Structure 1
Amino acid sequence: MISRGIDHIGLTVPDMEQAVQFFTGLLGFEDFYAHGPYEDLDGDSQTVYFDRHPRARTVQIRMLRTRNLNLELLQFESPDQVRRMPKTSDWGSAHIALYVEDMAKAVAYLRAQDVEVLGGSLPLPGPETGTNAEFCFFLTPWGQPLELISYPHGKAYERDTSRRLYSPVDPTTEWE
């Protein structure tokens, strides 16, 4: 096996200070460190190593953490930069699902903070169904979709197999 697990997830953001404030101030992440800027003024290392425009500039990188997730925030400037968030159905779109104990309380908290909640909570479908199992999408100020998820009594697929996905409800779940 090549992978031992996830080290971090990276998100490119348009405004680093706004993103850090959102994740630390609103969602409870801890800010660990910052570094950058980085750029290659003459060469092609941005293209060769990262598939970016050769004059792309890394403005700043910040590493945050919440319990079981290290989150790397990256801010770039590039001549060919696309400055719109992909829709959740677009190729390359991504979201992070944050586990919550009380969905109604979490959604109410986001709304009280003027965070755009998309619709409201829905029951988890298919093999994820379960008692009080639900999810809800919301948007960061720059339009990045994030998800709240809760399944305090497990998911339906667990009745049919002894195999388990990682779960913050049962963090002892191990990769075999």
Structure 2
Amino acid sequence: MTTKGINHLGLTVRDLEQTTAFFTDLLGWTLLGRDDSYPRTTVSDGHCRFTLWQVDQSRPMTDFNRRTNIGLHHVALEVATKEDLFEMADKVRAWPGIVMEFEPEPLAGGPRMHMMFAEPGGNRVEIIWPAGQ
């Protein structure tokens, strides 16, 4: 018996509405579900599915630090072309609440390229163009 891949990825976010809008409005993902009693939303690009959970705002929040926290380092999403990567960078850069870590640049000497940023909910996201690999 073995696993068959990721069913979904669950991310706790600072602001559920902001992060859901980031995925649906900027990235073009589909909103699959919403449960306001939990609260959470589920979004998908047709290949992968994320469940976004609202952090408990009645308690102190701690931002993720990739160097000191155990857990998710980042999530990497793939685009089909180099042009898509640069188009995505323009959209991401203009989106409210985004913290750019670095703009599109060669990955491990190229030709692959990637960029890294924190989405409005605080999670690190990498967009990668695999250059046909």
Specify the TM-score bucket, using the shorter chain as the normaliser: 0.7 to 0.9
Q: Is the contact between residue 26 and residue 91 of structure 2 (CA under 8 Å) also seen in structure 1?
A: no
Q: Which residue of 2 aligns with 1:98?
A: 77
> Which residue of the other structure, out of 93, 101, 120, is the alignment partner of 2:103?
120
Counterpart check, 1:143 vs 2:125: no
AA of the residue aligned to 2:72: S
Structure 2 match to 1:68:
47
Deviations 1:53-98 (A, max 9, x none): xxxxxx312111112111101124387x551221122322332111
- Contact 2:15 2:120 (8 Å CA) reproduced: no
Correspondence for 2:19: 19
1:29-67, CA deviations, whole angstroms, 9 ceiling, x for partnerless residues?
110111252xxxxxxxxxxxxxxxxxxxxx312111112
Q: Structure 1: where are the runs of 5+ without partners? A: 38-58, 155-176
Q: 1:153 to 1:20 in 2, by over 3 A?
A: same
The alignment's TM-score, normalised by the length of structure 2, stands at 0.81
Structure 1 match to 2:5: 5
Give the total of aligned pairs.
128
- How much is the aligned-residue C-alpha RMSD, in angstroms? 2.2
Alpha carbons of structure 1 residues 82 and 5: separation in structure 2 relative to 1, 3 Å: farther
In structure 2, give the amino acid aligned to 1:113: W
Tell me, which stretches of 5 or more residues in structure 2 are unaligned? none
Query: Which residue type is aligned with residue 89 of structure 2?
Result: V
Distance (Å, rounded) in 1 between the aligned partners of 2:14 and 2:93: 23
Counterpart contact for 2:41–2:53, Cα < 8 Å? yes
Task: Name the residue aligned to 2:28.
Answer: 28
1:108 counterpart = 2:87: no
Which has the larger Rg?
1
8 Å Cα contact 2:14/2:122 also seen in 1: no
